[in-house]
Amino acid sequence: MEQDERPTGTSVRPSHHIAHGADDADDAEFITIAKVTKTQGRKGEVAATLFTNFPERFTARKHLFGFDSKGQQHELELEEHWPHKDLVVLKFAGVDSINQAEMLIGWEIRIPRSQRAQLEPDQFYVSDLIGCRVYDGSREVGKVRDVQFGSGEAPLLVLKGEGDREYLVPFAASFIEEMALEQKRVKMKLPEGLLDLSLPMSSLAAAPQSARSQTAGSQTKDASLRKNQSGRDEKAV
């Protein structure tokens, strides 16, 4: 990928324009780990929402990429970072004032997909689950369009079925028969009647007991999945 200037001096300059969208080959090579929401402090610091379960990896991740609202890619060098409430504060080289920091608001902070943290065998990235076709035995139920998290329950796969019908299926280890992420396929064996239930988060307790069994892998630290522009992040279940 062609790359030009890194952020230096008084501004952060775009190095290469990338067409934004799920089908763009270059865009698909990156995942979002944070999104800048506001300035923080007077020396160019910004506060960002996390889209990763591994914020400690900012210690080693110094060379990052910022994508602005137009889909332009900017190379960034991380000088410092620290947690602040449920956000992370980031200080980038060449961004030394509030005015410069304001330019970064709304940017997605990304890394190459190849640099994602390694997971345990029973953990899966949310971004890998999105787009998977889910089967109950031989029946195709729908395609994963989102993952929802609650406090203590199994994460829910939000499936889009025929006729735009939506299903909420607990991503529980006891339901999973086969994970074929490279083929974008998840085979499950669901309790009888589960797909007939309307299963919003507030009524998960009304589901069959098996629907509340342990998750396949450790649950994310965040209570809900925050969406980002690219739909690709470093959240795991």
More confident residue, 137 or 224: 137
Position 130 pLDDT exceeds 90:
yes
Within 13 Å of residue 166, how many CA atoms lie on the same side as its CB?
10
Position 207 pLDDT exceeds 50:
no
Taking Cα atoms as reference points, which of 235, 230, 215 lies closest to residue 108? 230
Give the pLDDT confidence score for residue 185 in this predicted structure.
Answer: 97
Given the candidates 2.40.50.140, 2.30.30.240, 3.40.30.10, 3.40.50.1370, the CATH classification of the domain at 126-212 is 2.30.30.240
CA–CA gap between residue 205 and residue 216 (Å, rounded): 19
**Four-point Cα dihedral 34, 36, 37, 43, nearest 10:** 130
Instruction: Say if residues 237 and 153 touch (Cβ distance below 8 Å).
Output: no
Give the pLDDT confidence score for residue 122 in this predicted structure.
Answer: 86
Where along the chain do the CATH 2.30.30.240 domains lie?
Answer: 126-212
* Residue 237 pLDDT level (bands cut at 50, 70, 90): confident
Tell me the torsion sign for CA atoms 15, 21, 25, 31: positive
Contacts of residue 118, defined as CB under 8 A and 6 or more positions apart, other chains included, come to none
CA–CA gap between residue 46 and residue 88 (Å, rounded): 8
Question: What CATH homologous superfamily does 16-115 map to?
Answer: RimM (2.40.30.60)
Average pLDDT in the chain? 78
* Residue 224 pLDDT level (bands cut at 50, 70, 90): very low
Where along the chain do the CATH 2.40.30.60 domains lie?
Answer: 16-115
CA–CA gap between residue 164 and residue 181 (Å, rounded): 23
Taking Cα atoms as reference points, which of 27, 222, 196 lies closest to residue 126? 222
Position 104 pLDDT exceeds 80:
yes
CA–CA gap between residue 190 and residue 114 (Å, rounded): 33
Instruction: Say if residues 154 and 211 touch (Cβ distance below 8 Å).
Output: yes
More confident residue, 165 or 151: 165
DSSP 7: P
Compute CA distances 192 → 155, 175, 196, whole Å.
19, 12, 9
Give the pLDDT confidence score for residue 75 in this predicted structure.
Answer: 97
Give the pLDDT confidence score for residue 127 in this predicted structure.
Answer: 87
Give the pLDDT confidence score for residue 26 in this predicted structure.
Answer: 55
- Write out pLDDT tens, residues 137-160: 999 999 999 999 876 578 999 999
Pairing mode of beta strands 133-136, 72-84: unpaired
